[in-house]
Amino acid sequence: MRDVAIISTGMTPFGELWQSGLRDLFVQAAREALMAVGSPSVDAIYVGNMSGGQFVGQEHLGPLMADHLGLAGVPATRVESACASGGVALRCGFLDVAAGASDLVLVAGVEKMNDGADVTNVLASAADQETEVYHGITFPGLYAMIARAHMARYGTTEEDLAAVSVKNHRHGARNPKAQFRSEVTAEQVMTSSMVAEPLRLLHCSPVSDGAAVVLLCPLERAREFTDAPIRIRSSGLATAPMALADRADPTFLDAVSLAAGRAYKSGGVTPSDIQVAEVHDCFSIAELCVLEALCFTERGSAGELTRAGETALGGRIPINTSGGLKSKGHPVGATGVAQAIEIVEQLRGEAGERQVPDATIGLAQNMGGSGASSVVHIFERV
Active site residues: 83, 330
As a whole number of angstroms, the distance between CA 148 and CA 279 comes to: 21
- Residue 152: phi and psi, rounded to 5, are -65, -40
As a whole number of angstroms, the distance between CA 198 and CA 327 comes to: 19
Q: Are 326 and 168 in contact (CB under 8 A)?
A: yes
- Residue 6: in which H helix or E strand, if any? strand 4-11
CA neighbours within 13 Å on the CB side: how many for 148?
11
Please, which residues have CB within 8 angstroms of residue 67's CB and are 6 or more apart in sequence? none
The three-class DSSP label of residue 208 is coil
From residue 8, how far is each of 30, 36, 212, 228, 255 by CA, in Å? 10, 6, 11, 9, 29
Sort 118 into a burial class: Cβ within 10 Å, 0-12 / 13-18 / 19+: exposed
Please, which residues have CB within 8 angstroms of residue 140's CB and are 6 or more apart in sequence? 195, 196, 199, 204, 283
DSSP H helical ranges for 294-334 = 302-307, 324-328
As a whole number of angstroms, the distance between CA 346 and CA 132 comes to: 39
Radius of gyration of the chain (CA): 19
Amino acid found at 36? A
The three-class DSSP label of residue 123 is helix
Q: Give the DSSP per-residue string, 30-43.
A: HHHHHHTTT----S
